[in-house]
Structure 1
Amino acid sequence: MKEKKILILSLLVLFILGCSKKDITSIGQEGEYIANFDFPTYKVSAPAKVVLTNRSKNADRFLWEYSGGQTLNNKGEILDDTSSQKMSPDTLFYALPGTYKVKLTTWQGDGNKKEVSKTIVIEKQQPQIIVPENIGVFTEVTFSAKVFQYPGGTVTYNWDLGEAGTSTLAEPKATFTTEGPHLVKLTINDGQETLSTEVTIDVKGELAKTLYFTDATTRRIYRYKLRTMSASTVEWIGVTTGYNAFGLSVRGNKLYLSETGHGTRFSSAPYTVADGVLKSFNLDGTGENIITKPVATTLDYRDDPWMHTVDKNGNIWWTTRNYGLRVVNASATEIAYPAYNANLNINATIAGEAVTTYFSSDVKEVGNEIWVSYAGTTGKGIYKYSNGGTYLSKFTTAIQSHAIRTFVVDSVNKHIYFAINRDDAGRTVGLYRSDIDGSNIVAVDIANDMKIGVGAYSNQGAAGEYIYITNIDIDVDESGNGYLYYGYRSNTDISGSGNPATISTTAPNSGIKRVKLKGGYVPEFLFKGYAPYGLAIDQVKR
């Protein structure tokens, strides 16, 4: 039975194959005999590629004739053939604008013939300005254009680039000095006629790093573009802060803020309440997010956030007045304030160290380490932790003799810049620089106004607990050139030991100062009119 089924199947396959080979010779449709074809329905400009669609029915032979055109085969070769006998011809190619006739002749059997002719208009490509990407002020860019050129002919160009001038080049270079919309015009002559076009371009402001800072008088966050070729102005980003907004930092596309609230110095009720907060924002000030804040009923001002940093792993580390470091994920939203961790407080981790005057102040990520500065009367210098929170070591060089309110590391020039908030080890209050290991300390800014009190820096706080400079940052290039930036709050604008301090409604004598990283230290004001606390530089030019 099995053998009989196999024999029948084999005979059926042979029958089908035999019939296919003998009887099926063409493909057609039932119904009347029609000759027809379609052109593209959109405008076609020279040099043009045209694909025809055969709409004929019940025809078995074809002749396409397209005088004035050429044939573009499937290898991309342009042939001088002006006819084809294929059911659908290869792509037609027209090098020049004009009106052309395409004729299709079809046959059904030996004598039945039909013809159809159509005309196609190949237009001349109008000039099109090619706008460069990312046009910025004071940045040279090159314009170009797509134009039709007759074989063997020439094209003349006349560009009107507005404030960037005029040109007769095919690809002119241009530099714009003002941002915003600019009209660019082009007139060409192709030997046959004159054609014109224009386009409005958007010139962006100078790409530059951005300095952010908090202001004590208005309790707002501002930004200032660190432009070098055009003027910049201070801009409010739409964010208001509480009192004592000491810490700012930028990581990626986020701005982070730490506020310590009303109380900063040794206090008694009612100024002992915990009222600080950690927040994040988009760089334009939108998207406010509360990361975490202490609970007033269980904690007090000694737990409030002071300064902070966000590490490469996305964790935000911050200091507290008396209880060392804390850390959470920087992308968190209103999570519980982390509990005190003795392992992140040098009072508890270093045997034999004094425990009563360790005021942790600033914190920075350096490589794979977290460095923390201390600003007490005996607890001083910089201590190091792993980015996993394990205590590593402290500096043993000259920098360890100073109460460091804030610091920043210049990894290009291998220096540490730091501000001390009391006279120590033979050095007066001021800004200093050391080698990366804390040795070889030199003065950066110890001018007369670096002293604390009347006629100089704000005496906010109390002796031994002065707020002084709370953030510093650097803008440094690959060659080590750049500036150190820091906030100057004059005693005439903010002063005293109150909670909060006595704050003027204006800050005519305060502002952002800077000194060059190379070529000698000559402090200068970048601008005045603000009393800065937190300060950070977005290191990405935007």
Structure 2
Amino acid sequence: MKSLKLLHIICAILLFTGCDRNEVLVLEHTGEHIANFDFPEGQVYAPAKVRLTNRSRNADSFLWEYAGGKTIYTNGDTVDVSQSDKMVPDTILYELPGTYTVKLVARQGSVEKEVSKSVTILKQQPEIIVPENIGIFLDVTFSARVFRFPGRDIAYEWDFGEAGTSTLPNPTVQFETEGEHVIKLTVNDGEETLSTETTIWVQGELAKTIYFTDALTRRIYRYKLTTQTESEVEWIGVTTGYNPFGLSVKGDKLYLSETGLGTRFSSGDAARADGVLKSFNLDGTGENLITRPVATSLDYRDDPWMNTVDRYGNIWWTCRNWGVRVINASSSEAAYPSPRFNINATIAGEATTTYFASDIKEVGNEIWVSYAGTTGKGIYKFGYDGAYIGKIGGEIAKHAVRAFVVDHVNGHIYFATNRADEGRALGLYRTNLDGSGIVAVDNHWTMNIGAGGYSDQGAAGEYVYITNIDIVVDENGEGYLYYPYRAISDVYGSGNPPTLGASAANSGIKRYNLNGTEPATFLLKGYAPYGMAVDQVKR
């Protein structure tokens, strides 16, 4: 019905105006005929790609003229064309700085309206491109973003302060001190001289870092293994309990396992389960209590000793008598889990049940655990599910192993004995991966429990004189073994806690060159370390 009414209205209009049926009707424009356009807002720098906005009204056709510019078609081609009859011209390219005029003619029939506007294309001021991760004694290459006139050379004058000067476009320099440095650049582009500057931050030497606990101050410290600058021991702000035996680093986290007050046959307060398992950020912030034993149902034999974090984000730890426990390392105040596994005479095929779990490491796709009892000796291998795989054979199987680390590159196991087995004194040794070929690393008389020697903390057969060992080795097999040394003058006795001396003058972190060309020496002294771990990432 509506369509029929509309047809009647149209017919009436045609009859009223007297138009011929074959005459074409043209819709007339209404409103004012205007020619207008806008440039992009803000400053524009050469070489500039400019898109115009047509704001004309009531026009039938357009003609744009933009002398000094080129046209970039939608397919990406650039042509030396400076006019267009499109409603909106393609992108205009101005290659050089300067002031340019754009003219628009907007036609309505035979009537033309014209407007011209000017745009100033600025010269890009020189900008210094700062490389990432600038560290002292590292080669770093700078560059600059500079406007270049066709056919003209640019002259560079760089001033790097202590790192010197250069006239190269992309100079490579080294800085020797960390902190803020002002970089200055002056260029001449063939028309004028321009200058700029920027402030950069130069990091200290990137290096791996040792973390260790200290018996006297009951704190955790770190020490960067720098080679070009002198390093200093730094407290990370974390305090510990009496026996912080285990430290490990995984990713950007530090993991601490403490045994609490009692570490050997104990009674009274020392017999309580009071150990903890914690994590921290590497700077000491973000303390998180992962889990802890419950004193009402467990005792000192269940406290955490040493720990490791596997590739799946689980933290494994040993307990003095009850084997190995495991939990997700990101847990927070979680219930203390039951043991995942514990070696015994039935599994190991040995005669007695004196199995004291000590150190633990993830090696390949296995969990290796050392035992330091009277007959539960050597290193045993387990799967992630707790299934017993086997024991490393050879001579190491006859030694009570308090701590160990695996050198995958050179094919060695380094281990600390817990008693004088097989005629070997207490000390640090090396063996092949199959447990054969034991070689002394540091078993000098000063290492032995006794006057002037290693700490006699604990009792005979239960010494805890070395509780962590770690290694730094490169792809060529070069590097060092690191381990804590607590002298008998600084930490001693079988009490809970042990007796502490007035200082740690004779204790510290020792290191041994993996190539065996020199004896073990002190890396640093003045601390009585328990747990120790190396962050293998240079930071």
Displacement of 1:25 in angstroms is: 9.6
Q: Would you say 1:527 and 2:524 are equivalent positions? A: yes
Counterpart CA distance in 2 for 1:536 and 1:480 is 19
Higher mean Cα deviation, 357-366 or 164-173?
Answer: 357-366
Q: Would you say 1:101 and 2:101 are equivalent positions? A: yes
Taking a change above 3 Å as real, the CA distance of residues 430 and 24 of structure 1, as seen in their structure-2 partners, is: farther
Aligned length: 518
Taking a change above 3 Å as real, the CA distance of residues 415 and 39 of structure 1, as seen in their structure-2 partners, is: same
Q: Would you say 1:184 and 2:186 are equivalent positions? A: no
Displacement of 1:453 in angstroms is: 2.2
Answer whether contact 2:273 2:293 (CA < 8 A) is retained. yes
Q: Which amino acid in 2 is paired with 1:126?
A: Q
Higher mean Cα deviation, 376-385 or 508-517?
Answer: 376-385
Displacement of 1:351 in angstroms is: 4.7
Taking a change above 3 Å as real, the CA distance of residues 432 and 103 of structure 1, as seen in their structure-2 partners, is: same
Q: 2:397 aligns with which of 396, 400, 403?
A: 400
Q: Which residue of 2 aligns with 1:346?
A: 344
Tell me the SS of whatever aligns to 2:194: strand
Counterpart CA distance in 2 for 1:24 and 1:88 is 28
Answer whether contact 2:485 2:508 (CA < 8 A) is retained. yes
Q: Which amino acid in 2 is paired with 1:345?
A: I
Displacement of 1:240 in angstroms is: 0.7
Taking a change above 3 Å as real, the CA distance of residues 61 and 339 of structure 1, as seen in their structure-2 partners, is: closer
Q: Would you say 1:195 and 2:194 are equivalent positions? A: yes
Tell me the SS of whatever aligns to 2:476: coil
Counterpart CA distance in 1 for 2:202 and 2:303 is 45
Answer whether contact 1:52 1:89 (CA < 8 A) is retained. yes
Q: 2:479 aligns with which of 482, 493, 497?
A: 482
Q: Would you say 1:69 and 2:66 are equivalent positions? A: no
Answer whether contact 1:377 1:403 (CA < 8 A) is retained. yes
Displacement of 1:519 in angstroms is: 4.2
Stretches of 4+ aligned residues off by more than 6 angstroms? 22-26
Counterpart CA distance in 2 for 1:295 and 1:486 is 32
The aligned runs of 1:378-417 (5 Å cut-off) are 378-417=375-414
Counterpart CA distance in 2 for 1:392 and 1:126 is 68
Higher mean Cα deviation, 434-443 or 447-456?
Answer: 447-456
Taking a change above 3 Å as real, the CA distance of residues 295 and 87 of structure 1, as seen in their structure-2 partners, is: same
- Cα offsets for 1:229-287 (capped at 9, x unmatched): 22211111111110100000111221111100111121222421111111111212111
Q: Which residue of 2 aligns with 1:517?
A: 514
Q: Which residue of 2 aligns with 1:134?
A: 133
Counterpart CA distance in 2 for 1:346 and 1:311 is 24
Q: Which amino acid in 2 is paired with 1:414?
A: G
TM-score (norm 2): 0.93
The aligned runs of 1:227-376 (5 Å cut-off) are 227-340=226-339, 343-347=341-345, 349-355=347-353, 357-376=354-373
Gaps of 5+ in 2: 5-22
- Cα offsets for 1:416-442 (capped at 9, x unmatched): 000112211011111100000110000
Tell me the SS of whatever aligns to 1:344: coil
Tell me the SS of whatever aligns to 1:183: strand
Q: Percent identity?
A: 65
Q: CA RMSD in A?
A: 1.9
Q: Which amino acid in 1 is paired with 2:519?
A: V
Gaps of 5+ in 1: 1-7, 9-21
Displacement of 1:347 in angstroms is: 4.4
Counterpart CA distance in 1 for 2:382 and 2:342 is 8
Counterpart CA distance in 2 for 1:487 and 1:56 is 82
Taking a change above 3 Å as real, the CA distance of residues 344 and 31 of structure 1, as seen in their structure-2 partners, is: farther
Counterpart CA distance in 2 for 1:203 and 1:474 is 29
Q: Would you say 1:125 and 2:117 are equivalent positions? A: no
Q: Which residue of 2 aligns with 1:148?
A: 147
Q: Which amino acid in 2 is paired with 1:153?
A: R
Q: Which residue of 1 aligns with 2:415?
A: 418
- Cα offsets for 1:192-217 (capped at 9, x unmatched): 11100001111122222111111111
Answer whether contact 1:127 1:196 (CA < 8 A) is retained. yes
Taking a change above 3 Å as real, the CA distance of residues 293 and 116 of structure 1, as seen in their structure-2 partners, is: same
Q: Which residue of 2 aligns with 1:56?
A: 56
- Cα offsets for 1:317-364 (capped at 9, x unmatched): 2111122222222222222222356x4232463454311x32111111
Displacement of 1:512 in angstroms is: 0.5
Displacement of 1:298 in angstroms is: 1.3
Tell me the SS of whatever aligns to 1:449: helix
The aligned runs of 1:456-475 (5 Å cut-off) are 456-475=453-472
Counterpart CA distance in 1 for 2:364 and 2:313 is 14
Answer whether contact 1:344 1:391 (CA < 8 A) is retained. no
Answer whether contact 2:370 2:377 (CA < 8 A) is retained. yes
Q: 1:491 aligns with which of 488, 493, 499?
A: 488
Answer whether contact 1:218 1:505 (CA < 8 A) is retained. no
